[in-house]
Amino acid sequence: MNLVALQQPAEVEVAVDNFAATVTTRLAGGRFAGLFGSAGADGPVVLRSTISRNGVLEVVKCAVPSGGAGTPAGYPALTPAVPAANWYEREVADLFDLYPEGHPRVDPLVLPRDAEAAAPRPGSGFGRGGGHIVLDEAALPAHVSGEGVFTLPFGPVRSGVFESVQYLVETPGEDIPHVRARVYHKHRGIESRFEGMAPADGVLLAERVEGVASVAHALAYCQALEANASGPGLPRGALLVRVLHAELERAANHLDSMVRHTEAAGQAVANSRLAWHKERLLRLRAELCGHRFARGVVVIGGVAGPPALAPEATLRELAGLEADVRADTKLLMATSSFIDRLRGTGVITPEVAAARGALGPVARASGSEEDLRTHRPYAGYGLIELPEHRYRDAGDALARQLVRLEELWGSFRLCRVALEALTGEPAEGPWAADVVPADGIAWGWAEAPQGELLCMVELDGGRLCRVKPRSASFHNLSLFPEAFGGDIFTDFAFIEASFGLSIAGVAG
């Protein structure tokens, strides 16, 4: 028994007027990591801003009093001093009807509503009431400036099999001086859907917030509940199985990103080869747990059971797969017609990445060293030796792919280490501890393939009253427009693929 319960962040409460100033002061040497709203059945909306400094998470909290009849409640906006807060404040405005005073452009982001329509106010119980909100696209602005510039709407239905998102490309013809992303099309109101659920059912929903990162979402969610729980620690075996599946998920996502790059570059053989490797990996995951996306593996208190495939067979399969991926990516990274498409494409400079608090492989290609697996260890990452940290600072699509490749080899190694550490575990377990989550608010996190995933979970009377997963896709997509400096239309697919995001995690 060795539970490493997540060290919960320190929380500072300030008055609403001091909120922006306090967040700005505390951000010195740190990174803005999100804005989490929470509404009660009535009364004020509570805003929590998370800040990560040297890997330690802290929270600044304030209560925004209601604005009275007919006037929306307001608070001094963070965005003027903290550009990274831009999308978060727009999201909060959509979901809670809170107006960030001083925000440069409070355009609807996830839920364009008619001014008369009620906001869902997650946490208020709206999700239990069965109410429906009709979207009003008239709430969206339409403007473009500059001589000879027009807006090309790209999406939400795009060529190929993609998630729905719309990019508004403002262009004079070939260059892309500016891009805006519209993400509301597939907003599912998933945060409100958690309201009233039993914690064990919430895992199933968390797995579907961002389906390609099911394990990471289940982990962040379950770890939040476990952090606030009484009961015994988690079994060592469960922590290792969590590592195994989290790393297989990372490998699958990084391979998927590679498949998309080769598709965009028209590298037909490489594309087929890598698609085959990705399929082999999904099949291996299904053999281990019965599901190609490893749903159902993570449960509150541990995992559902031991891997169904023997460690020797798993190691053999992984070794063969890794050898093939290494051979193919070695050739690919020596193919100039491929590399030339990536080099210098979609640059996020280290300065922009740091100022905007970029996450995951996007950040690690732009000079950041942060990776939660080493900076805020969870699951079994504290029990095993982690690969040496690699990062790059060129900030282009090539750097992002090189970071992903390094991480891919790291994931294969971690799977091996976890499997070897698992060999001594008795098959009969225990694989899960009897954990009883206590009421109150708690934070969980995981380094998803896309980057830092945070999950705020609030429990009341043993039922979920507010769950807010903040996916790295949401944070990083807000940086997407920054990557277009002198790039042209044919670069678009590479920049998008190199960000490696899932729109489901953005739209909520």
Partner 1 sequence: MPWATRGLRDGVLTTRYPKRPDGYGHAWRGSVNVKAAQRTSEPWTELCPTGAISNSISGAPTLDRGKCIMCGRCVAGRPGDFGFDPSPEVAGVSRGALVVPPTSESEAEVASARAELARRARRLRRSLHVRHVDAGSDGSEEWEIAALLGPVYDVHRLGVYFTASPRHADLLMVTGAGSEGMAGPLWATYEAMPEPRVVMAVGTDAISGGIVSPSYATRGGVGDLVPVDVWVPGSPPSPFSILHGILLAVGLLSERGGP
The footprint of partner 1 (CB under 8 A) covers 111, 120, 126-127, 130-135, 156-164, 184-190, 192-193, 201, 204-205, 208-212, 214, 256, 267, 269-270, 272-273, 275-276, 278-279, 282-283, 286-287, 290-293, 295-296, 328, 331, 335, 502-505, 507
Task: Give the separation between CA 170 and CA 153, rounded to whole angstroms.
Answer: 9
Give 95 or 244: the residue with its C-beta nearer to partner 1.
95
Task: Give the separation between CA 316 and CA 327, rounded to whole angstroms.
Answer: 17
Mode of pairing for the β-strands spanning 166-171 and 178-182: antiparallel
Provide, rounded to whole angstroms, the least separation between the CB of residue 401 and partner 1. Answer: 18
Question: Helix 268-289 vs helix 311-332: angle between axes, to the nearest 10 degrees?
Answer: 160
Give 26 or 185: the residue with its C-beta nearer to partner 1.
185
- Answer whether 346's CB lies under 8 Å from 397's CB: yes
Helix locations, 125-235, DSSP H: 126-129, 190-193, 199-206, 214-227
Structure tokens at 409: 């080899």
Give 50 or 124: the residue with its C-beta nearer to partner 1.
124
* Alpha-carbon dihedral sign for residues 418, 424, 429, 434: negative
CA distances from 44 to 40, 65, 128, 436, 465 (A): 7, 5, 20, 29, 16
Size of the chain, expressed as the number of residues it contains: 508
Give 205 or 244: the residue with its C-beta nearer to partner 1.
205
Give 217 or 356: the residue with its C-beta nearer to partner 1.
217
Provide, rounded to whole angstroms, the least separation between the CB of residue 295 and partner 1. Answer: 7
Nearest alpha carbon to residue 354 among 389, 388, 393, 407 = 393
Provide, rounded to whole angstroms, the least separation between the CB of residue 365 and partner 1. Answer: 22
166 by DSSP, 3-state: which? Answer: strand
Provide, rounded to whole angstroms, the least separation between the CB of residue 77 and partner 1. Answer: 25
Provide, rounded to whole angstroms, the least separation between the CB of residue 139 and partner 1. Answer: 12
Task: Give the separation between CA 110 and CA 92, rounded to whole angstroms.
Answer: 9
Provide, rounded to whole angstroms, the least separation between the CB of residue 450 and partner 1. Answer: 11
Provide, rounded to whole angstroms, the least separation between the CB of residue 2 and partner 1. Answer: 27
Give 188 or 343: the residue with its C-beta nearer to partner 1.
188
Provide, rounded to whole angstroms, the least separation between the CB of residue 276 and partner 1. Answer: 5
Structure tokens at 38: 């929470």
Task: Give the separation between CA 378 and CA 218, rounded to whole angstroms.
Answer: 13
Give 214 or 223: the residue with its C-beta nearer to partner 1.
214
Provide, rounded to whole angstroms, the least separation between the CB of residue 234 and partner 1. Answer: 20
Q: How many CB atoms lie within 10 A of CB 71?
A: 9
Helix locations, 228-310, DSSP H: 236-264, 268-289
Give 86 or 262: the residue with its C-beta nearer to partner 1.
262
Sheet holding 166-171, edge to edge: 150-154, 166-171, 178-182
Give 163 or 406: the residue with its C-beta nearer to partner 1.
163
Provide, rounded to whole angstroms, the least separation between the CB of residue 270 and partner 1. Answer: 7
80: Cα separation from own chain's centroid:
24
Give 120 or 350: the residue with its C-beta nearer to partner 1.
120
E-assigned strand segments in 174-301: 178-182, 229-230, 298-299
